[in-house]
Amino acid sequence: MAVSADPLPSRVADRQIGTSTDTRRQEEGELTDQVRVVIVGAGPAGLVLGNILRARGVDTLVLERNSREYVQNRARAGFLGVHSVRVLTEHGLAGGLLRAGRSHGTCVFRTGEGELTLYYGQLGRGESHVVYPQQDLVTDLVASYLDRGGELRFGVAVTDVDPATGTVRYRDSFGAGEVTGRFVAGCDGGHGVTRQAVPGRPATRDHGVSWLAVLAAAPQSMAAVTYALHDRGFAGHMARGPQVTRYYLQVQADDEPSAWTEERIWTALGERMRVGEYWPLRTGPVTERRIVHLRSAVASRLQHGRLFLAGDAASLISPSAAKGANLAIMAAEVLARGITDVLTRDDERVLAAYSRTCLPRIWRAQEFSHWMIELLHAPAGDDPDIGFRRSLRRARLDSLRDSRAHQDFFAENYVGI
């Protein structure tokens, strides 16, 4: 395997000062030397990895393009599966989510023929989600990483990585610089630079569906995650916090978020959620609206030389089954174990198997997410297969309603990986 077998660099001995810009950086307390693990990106993947490594005494440096305020306020996912909760708990990172997270084990499919309610927390392996907004998790992870003595630089944009040498080049307010890692973790999300340093084309799919992702400053309207299937398009409802609810609306790919006024959003949600037949939505100011194109991409391999990809950098998954953050935490844990084994015991087995361990799990999640996408979205009116696809969708829901085995299978895939 191609990971370096160099003796572990001592942090002090390996400090190298290069250009005059580097000297200035050193004077100002900036880093220009070698660390054992350089982590690109302070999202869930990079921060979970950094936290676990720091707890084991590994020298780490996280480089994050955006500001601390930005990453701690970026509202994204919120549903953590059992595996994620276990990883976070085992590594002392679950204080906030155990205090403020809410257990969630019910989802509803609402159609013109009624509702199908699945108490998935009592199906399958009897496992539920914990709802904990991602920005709160990221805030906790930044604080604990710094408490553990981790080095984290905000406002540093990595420009390229050399997987052979572990050299990471970046730009920050001082100009250009570089740092070398014995290992480099590419945790820079779905549009980052590190994935470009890994050869091979990712397997991609454009699902041909776009959502308007809405955050509303309003309490949840229903007790459960609700998926509304409607000929005008999908609408979704997901709890986030006591006064924050996530809604999704299927929209045209070229829609501008600004074209969706608050009134238009609540009208469309009400229609697709069939509030006339159920109960009204609890409305509130819309605090965020952005268009999400449902796309998937899975790297063909997750390692090249000293570089390892994790999280969205390894695999971009549509939000239809809330898997993105859970996959990020899964990969971060495996990678942390692999790196620690090499550094502490010179044991390369886990690290050498990193791609082989993670890729099948990623593909299982992609498969389930793809199944959800097919279920949730109405074929367009000009789709020649419209009748066939609508009937298939109905058969899928019938199967979920009538078959306990299917319900158990759904529950296992929905909460687990």
How many Å apart are CA 127 and CA 138, to the nearest integer?
A: 24
The residue among 43 and 166 lying less far from ligand APR, judged by its C-beta, is: 43
At a CB cut-off of 8 Å and minimum separation 6, what does 233 contact? 249, 250, 251, 272, 377, 378
Task: Indicate whether 77 belongs to the interface with ligand APR (CB under 6 A).
Answer: yes
Residue 62 C-beta: closest distance to ligand APR, Å = 9
State the nearest-atom distance from the C-beta of 89 to ligand APR, in Å: 19
What does each C-alpha distance from 156 to 15, 175, 297, 336 come to in angstroms?
Answer: 19, 10, 26, 23
Burial label, 250 (beta-carbon count in 10 A; 0-12, 13-18, 19+): buried
Q: What are phi and psi of 143, to 5 degrees?
A: -60, -45
CB of 74 to ligand APR, least distance (A): 7
Chain positions 271 to 300 lying near ligand APR, rule: CB under 6 A, are: none
Question: What DSSP string describes 251-280?
Answer: E-TT--GGGS-HHHHHHHHHHHTTGGGS--
Q: How far is the CB of 393 from ligand APR (least distance, A)?
A: 26
Sites for ligand APR among residues 82-141 (CB under 6 A):
134
What's the min distance (Å) between Cβ of 332 and ligand APR?
8
Alpha-carbon gap, residue 211 to 291, rounded angstroms: 6
From 120, 312, 343, 369, residue interacting with ligand APR (rule: CB under 6 A): 312
Residue with tokens 């999640």: 365
Q: How far apart are CA 105 and CA 45, in angstroms?
A: 25
Task: Single out the residue of 71, 218, 307, 335 in contact with ligand APR (rule: CB under 6 A).
Answer: 71
Q: Confirm or reject binding of residue 76 to ligand APR (CB under 6 A).
A: yes
Q: Are 80 and 132 in contact (CB under 8 A)?
A: yes
Backbone angles phi, psi at 113, to 5 degrees: -100, 10
Q: Site residues for ligand APR, window 174-213 (CB under 6 A)? A: 187-189, 192-193
- With CB under 6 A as the contact rule, the residue among 3, 39, 45, 359 that binds ligand APR is 45
Q: What is the per-residue burial (b if ≥16 Cβ within 10 Å, else e) of 378-397?
A: bbeeeeeeeeebeeebeeeb
| Shortest reach from residue 134's CB to ligand APR, in Å | 6
332 neighbors 314 (Cβ within 8 angstroms): no
Phi-psi region of 126 (alpha: psi -120 to 50; beta: other; left: phi over 0): left
Q: How far is the CB of 10 from ligand APR (least distance, A)?
A: 26
Smaller CB separation from ligand APR, 264 or 290: 290
Q: What is the C-alpha radius of gyration for the chain, rounded to an integer number of angstroms? A: 22
Shortest Cβ 92–ligand APR spacing (Å): 19
DSSP track, 328-348: HHHHHHHHHHHHHHHHHH---
Q: Which of 325, 339, 373, 415 binds ligand APR (CB under 6 A)?
A: 325
Cβ atoms within 10 Å, residue 99: 9
Nearer to ligand APR, 33 or 64 (CB): 64
| Tokens of residue 329, six digits | 């935490």
Closest distance to ligand APR from the beta carbon of 97 (Å): 15
Residue 38 or 107 with smaller CB distance to ligand APR: 38
Indicate which single residue of 9, 43, 150, 338 sits in contact with ligand APR (rule: CB under 6 A).
Answer: 43
Q: Is 365 in the site for ligand APR (CB under 6 A)?
A: no
**Contacting range for ligand APR; rule: CB under 6 A; set: 22-30, 40-48, 93-101, 358-366:** 40-48
Residue from 21, 66, 165, 167 touching ligand APR (CB under 6 A): that is: 66
Q: Which is nearer to ligand APR, 192 or 338 (CB)?
A: 192
Instruction: Find the shortest distance in angstroms from Cβ 17 to ligand APR.
Output: 23
Size of the site for ligand APR (CB under 6 A): 28
C-alpha closest to that of 42 among 122, 137, 127: 137
Q: Residue 98: count other Cβ atoms within 10 Å of its Cβ.
A: 12
Judge whether 358 and 331 are in contact, CB under 8 Å: yes
Least Å distance, CB 224 to ligand APR, is 21
Select from 42, 85, 131, 297 the one that contacts ligand APR (CB under 6 A): 42
Q: Does 46 bind ligand APR (CB under 6 A)?
A: yes
- Residue 32 within binding range of ligand APR, rule CB under 6 A: no
Give contact residues for ligand APR (rule: CB under 6 A): 40-46, 63-66, 71, 76-77, 134, 157-158, 187-189, 192-193, 311-313, 324-325, 328
